[in-house]
Amino acid sequence: MTEQGRSHPIDDESTPAFPEDREKREARRAEGPSVRSITAEIVPFLIRGPIRYLRTTLRSVLGSLLFVLLLTVRHGPTRRSILGSFGVGLVGSFGVITASAEDTNGDGDENGAGDRYVVGLEAGTSTASVSRSATQLYRSLDLSSGGSVVVGDFDDDTRRQLEGRSDVRYVEKDHVRQQQVHSAVQPSESVDLSDEQETPWGVERIGATDFHGKGETESGATVAILDSGIDPEHESLEVADGKAFTDCNGGSCASEWDDDTGHGTHCAGTVAAQDNGTGVVGAAPDVDLCALKVLAGDGSGYDSDIAAAIEWCADNDIDVINLSLGGSDEARVLEDALRYAYDRGVLVVAAAGNSGSVGGIDYPAGYDECIAVGATNDRDEVPDWSARGDGIELVAPGDAILSTVPDDEYAYLEGTSMSTPHVAAIGAQLMSQGLPHAEHTDDVDDPGGVRGLLRETAEDVGFDEDEQGFGLLNAFDAFEELEPITTEDVTDVRATTATLNGSVRSIEDASAVDVRFEWRESDGSEWTETDTESIEPGDEFSVAIDGLTPDTEHDVRGILDDGDDTSTANVETFATGLDELAVETGDVEAIDHRTIRGVGKLEGLGDAESVEVSFSVRRDGDDEWEETESQGRDSIGTYEDDVSGLEPETEYEVEAVADGSGERTSGETVTIETDPEPGIPEIERFELTDDSTGQFVRCNVNWGVADRDSDLELVATELRYADDDEELHRVATEIEGGEESGIHTVRNSDRFEGAGEEYEITLTVTDAEGNVTEETEEVTLDERSPAPSIDRFEVSTDDFLGTPETVVDWAVSDEGEELDGVELELCRADDDEVIDESSSMARGEEASGTDSLRGGDADDDETAYDVTMRVTDYFEQTTEETTRVTHGE
């Protein structure tokens, strides 16, 4: 994954926009490196220094390794893995972009990992058949109307078949994206902030310091950092939640989402470093951080892992996603995931890239759902390395950005990776004020909401639109543009009455303000005003009104007068109820095999002060209804209830019911069928293939499992000799969801003893409830071929310098192609004493040769000798023949 982070020496001769900040850095340079700063020299090396520190020669490789060793000797290892630093250093030193350790498929390249592909399916299409066709299944995603996604290893034939299916939208490589490091931070730029707190120049430049504290609400916003993780123990960071979609390298990771490169921790600090008197302070210290680890310790991350993290954000109430990563390749799985999140109210901010005007905007920033962020320096210039393109939406500080790095350290880095967190932080603060991320999610040109407000208040810094977009992020103006009064949801709605609600934000220099509401029928033009009341800024206010028209849409808006100006709030629309008792049966769904959930809508209360609402339920075909426990309601609106104790796979009829003032009414009848009774996990595929080699007895186990409750947990394969309890080999895989498939390879390392034996192979699948299903198959593996054969054994006699000689012309073969050797022996007839012998190497399927055996007395005429030939294979199976010859005949 291309991280849009660059580390870069500060331009000493430039004129800073914030001299005081620059002067502090200059003073540190003059003092020279401290012990802490020398120690911190390892930080950029581990984070992103390798490609600049290390080039393409052996000399630089050795020099860099020596550098790490010296630092380790002098200061000792941190909790990060020193061995891991060597690995990253070696990769970066040659400037090689390599696949991650998971890329073991042979035909991978810099853009993809071998046979690992993403298959996008049409909405409503079952993933079962695609999952079963994968030789290895990694994950599946359900992106709602966008369709499902299956990620796995697929061979060429399978991919061609999938590409031709009408229910498959796309088949694309699951790209492995890599870090791209452009330059290294100098040692003096690692900052010792152990006894002080510094506000980075970027936080000041966008006006975020004036914004601190003003965005606090009872329900703050959450920013998810999709990156290399976040250091969970950093003194300046508080991480509310985290989840790993890739492994954290080494045993020193404090959590599964710990940061083993440093990039994610730097981004997190820019967003929300705490205002605690130590280190740095972020652009929005009040927002919550969520660490989603999608980049591994070697800087790589699969598109599907990033997409899974985006899906998780959409399903777990994340407000803002920060994507300080990118690459030149498009990926439809990322586009699907971004649309899924954007449609569910998530603001997505992504780094535009560091390739200047050459490469255009990186992906995912290039997708419409993302705010693509370029960079500026402290002179309000767009650096030449910041990406250009029509899709640039905003620019933010990205040059020489001071922020947090692992192990309570602080360092300067540069890149659009550093710009993006500024925008994410301010976006989250605005969302905490109740603004949606966008009011019109289908209109990229006029999105409204937070996205629209950031565009409207951006500062023009004099660059072309393809360089600066709408301009430089301006947090102060964005906050100032917020309407001081907000119209909230209308409550207690009946046929002719309702309660109007509003709230007022904090207003400087105002101890009290006058507020009121205006309301009208939605198709009318004249507004009716409520009485004015005086409240303190930051308070909420409500007014009950009557005289409304039944069953009619109405508009309402709040009005504020602070003595100087009058502000009009947003318009909220609500519908009054019917002037009679009325209820509607809404959605009814099966929760499980014994429970259904009903949703009803009370549409009118008639003359009743309050009514009791409930549901009537009966088995389809029965005469008697059963009633759920009633709920009291004094206004229109929806209600729901669960009905339990039902029969599995059975159809039931459901009606919403309302009782009030002696009246009773019900909605239309809805029929629903309960789910099948959950059972133990099922083994759908259990296929064995002998895969033995010249070293091991092996068997490939192609398995597919499913669970009706979608709570699969573990699948394991065990190998043992038939009728023997001792386990020879076990392979296990943690799984989840409703169906999974894959291949396990089990082996017996002792081929000499194990070839040709009968084996039992047991497949076991377990779900989260502890239910277990297993199947056992018997198979003979690496079946031994017959013993080798002697195809030619011709013996003749001769004389060699006065010594009798026996010449043997031989040929042997073996069906198993595992010949091991040929031995010849010469003995006097009826005597076991060996006079002479020889041996010859024999390998493979066939061998032949001519050997001589000498012995005996030349004066012994007509002496009989026995010649024995013996051929052996790998398993010591032997074939032997003996023939008699007479010398001197």
Q: Is the pLDDT of residue 36 over 60?
A: no
Report pLDDT digits (tens) over 731-746: 999 998 889 999 999 9
Three-state secondary structure call for residue 222: strand
Q: Is residue 97 part of a domain?
A: no
The verdict on 616 and 702 lying in the same domain is no
pLDDT at 179: 56
Q: Is the pLDDT of residue 105 over 80?
A: no
The per-residue DSSP string of 489-526 comes to: --BS--SS-EEEEEEE---TT-S-EEEEEEEEETT---
Three-state secondary structure call for residue 639: strand
Three-state secondary structure call for residue 145: helix
The per-residue DSSP string of 809-870 comes to: EEEEE-TTS-EEEEEEEEEETT---EEEEEEEE--SSEEEEEEEEE-S-TT-TTEEEEEEEE
Segment 30-40 shows an average pLDDT of 36
The percent of residues above 70 in pLDDT, for the chain, comes to: 83
The verdict on 474 and 510 lying in the same domain is no
Q: Is residue 106 part of a domain?
A: no
Q: Report yes or no: 52 and 210 within 8 Å, Cβ to Cβ.
A: no
Three-state secondary structure call for residue 424: helix
d(CA 33, CA 71): 14
The verdict on 307 and 393 lying in the same domain is yes
Report pLDDT digits (tens) over 465-474: 999 999 999 9
Q: Cα torsion at 337, 342, 345, 348 (round to 10°)?
A: 90
Report pLDDT digits (tens) over 720-734: 999 899 999 999 999
Cβ-count burial 411-433 (b if 16+ within 10 Å, e if not): bbbbbbbbbbbbbbbbbbbbbbb
Q: Is residue 23 part of a domain?
A: no
Q: Is the dihedral of CA 407, 409, 415, 418 positive or negative?
A: positive
> What are the catalytic residues?
227, 263, 417
| Locus of tokens 């606090």 | 216
Measured in whole angstroms, how far is the alpha carbon of residue 365 from the centre of its chain?
Answer: 17
Q: How many CB atoms neighbour CB 566 within 10 A?
A: 11
Report residue 593's pLDDT band, with 50, 70 and 90 as the boundaries.
confident
DSSP 668: -
pLDDT at 56: 27
Q: Is residue 92 part of a domain?
A: no
The verdict on 312 and 347 lying in the same domain is yes
| Locus of tokens 């510094």 | 198
Report residue 40's pLDDT band, with 50, 70 and 90 as the boundaries.
very low
Task: List phi, psi (to 5°) of 486.
Answer: -130, 135
Q: Is residue 637 part of a domain?
A: yes
Q: What are the distances in angstroms from CA 474 to CA 254, 423, 506, 587, 704? A: 36, 9, 20, 45, 54
The verdict on 156 and 274 lying in the same domain is no
Measured in whole angstroms, how far is the alpha carbon of residue 742 from the centre of its chain?
Answer: 20
Strand-pair category, 320-323 with 222-227? parallel
Domain hosting residue 159, numbered range: 116-173
Three-state secondary structure call for residue 651: strand
Cα–Cα–Cα angle for 265, 270, 275, rounded to 5 degrees:
105
pLDDT at 710: 84
Q: Of 616, 686, 675, give the one whose Cα is nearest residue 646.
A: 675
Q: How many CB atoms neighbour CB 645 within 10 A?
A: 7
Q: What are the distances in angstroms from CA 215 to CA 208, 374, 426, 436, 534? A: 11, 25, 9, 14, 23
Report residue 451's pLDDT band, with 50, 70 and 90 as the boundaries.
very high
The verdict on 298 and 419 lying in the same domain is yes
Q: Is the pLDDT of residue 41 over 50?
A: no
Segment 115-120 shows an average pLDDT of 93
pLDDT at 538: 78
Report residue 887's pLDDT band, with 50, 70 and 90 as the boundaries.
confident
Report residue 324's pLDDT band, with 50, 70 and 90 as the boundaries.
very high
d(CA 225, CA 229): 7
Cα–Cα–Cα angle for 545, 546, 550, rounded to 5 degrees:
125
d(CA 121, CA 563): 59
Q: Of 111, 116, 138, give the one whose Cα is nearest residue 127.
A: 138
Q: Of 374, 397, 398, 380, give the one whose Cα is nearest residue 467.
A: 374
Q: Picking from 174-178, 235-239, 429-433, 601-605, which range would have the lowest pLDDT averaged per residue?
A: 174-178
pLDDT at 858: 59
- Partners of 599 in beta bridges: 640
- Which one of 418, 443, 478 terminates a domain? 478
Cβ-count burial 216-235 (b if 16+ within 10 Å, e if not): eeeebbbbbbbbbbbbbebb
Report pLDDT digits (tens) over 283-301: 999 999 999 999 988 778 9
Written as six digits, the tokens of 633 are 């309601």
Segment 798-806 shows an average pLDDT of 82
Strand-pair category, 566-575 with 485-487? unpaired
pLDDT at 10: 33
DSSP 788: P
d(CA 425, CA 517): 33
Q: What is the mean pLDDT of the chain?
A: 83
The verdict on 590 and 667 lying in the same domain is yes
Report pLDDT digits (tens) over 265-277: 999 999 999 999 9
The residue type of 813 is S
Strand-pair category, 712-721 with 697-706? unpaired
- Which one of 646, 673, 700 terminates a domain? 673
The verdict on 689 and 627 lying in the same domain is no
d(CA 222, CA 324): 16
Q: Report yes or no: 174 and 439 within 8 Å, Cβ to Cβ.
A: no
Q: Of 69, 63, 72, 113, give the one whose Cα is nearest residue 93.
A: 63
Q: What CATH number is given to the structural domain containing 651? A: 2.60.40.10
Rounded to a whole number of angstroms, the CA Rg of the chain reads 38
The domain tally of the chain equals: 6
pLDDT at 849: 94
The residue type of 671 is T
Q: Report yes or no: 393 and 490 within 8 Å, Cβ to Cβ.
A: no
Report residue 254's pLDDT band, with 50, 70 and 90 as the boundaries.
confident
Cα atoms found within 13 Å of the Cα of residue 99, Cβ hemisphere only: 20
Cβ-count burial 328-346 (b if 16+ within 10 Å, e if not): bbebbbbbbbbbbbbbbbb
- Partners of 349 in beta bridges: 322, 371
Q: Report yes or no: 55 and 95 within 8 Å, Cβ to Cβ.
A: yes
pLDDT at 128: 80
- Which one of 780, 815, 838 terminates a domain? 780
The verdict on 344 and 440 lying in the same domain is yes
pLDDT at 380: 97
Q: Is residue 610 part of a domain?
A: yes
Q: Is residue 162 part of a domain?
A: yes
| Locus of tokens 């970027």 | 202
d(CA 759, CA 21): 73
The verdict on 234 and 363 lying in the same domain is yes
Q: Is the pLDDT of residue 645 over 90?
A: yes
Q: Is the pLDDT of residue 610 over 80?
A: yes
d(CA 611, CA 605): 7
The verdict on 774 and 806 lying in the same domain is no
Q: Report yes or no: 121 and 127 within 8 Å, Cβ to Cβ.
A: yes
pLDDT at 508: 61
d(CA 289, CA 274): 11
pLDDT at 83: 27
Written as six digits, the tokens of 498 are 């309702």
Strand-pair category, 533-535 with 513-521? antiparallel
Q: What CATH number is given to the structural domain containing 121? A: 3.30.70
Written as six digits, the tokens of 262 are 């440093």
Q: Report yes or no: 795 and 807 within 8 Å, Cβ to Cβ.
A: yes
Report pLDDT digits (tens) over 375-421: 999 999 999 999 999 999 999 999 999 999 999 999 999 999 999 99
pTM over 0.75: no
Instruction: Give me the count of residues in the chain.
Output: 889
Q: What CATH number is given to the structural domain containing 427? A: 3.40.50.200
Kind plus residue range of the DSSP H or E element containing 796: strand 789-800
Segment 43-71 shows an average pLDDT of 32
Three-state secondary structure call for residue 165: coil
Q: Is residue 138 part of a domain?
A: yes
d(CA 51, CA 97): 10
Q: Is the pLDDT of residue 754 over 70?
A: yes
Q: Picking from 248-252, 599-603, 652-656, 734-738, which range would have the lowest pLDDT averaged per residue?
A: 248-252
Q: Is the pLDDT of residue 217 over 60?
A: no
Segment 587-600 shows an average pLDDT of 92
pLDDT at 191: 80
Q: How many CB atoms neighbour CB 833 within 10 A?
A: 6
pLDDT at 889: 61
Q: What are the distances in angstroms from CA 236 to CA 230, 233, 281? A: 11, 9, 8
The verdict on 167 and 216 lying in the same domain is no
For the stretch 54-57, contacts whose Cβ atoms lie closer than 8 Å and that sit 24 or more positions apart, written own/partner, are: 54/89, 54/90, 54/92, 54/93, 54/94, 55/93, 55/94, 55/95, 56/93, 56/94, 56/95
The residue type of 604 is G
pLDDT at 1: 47
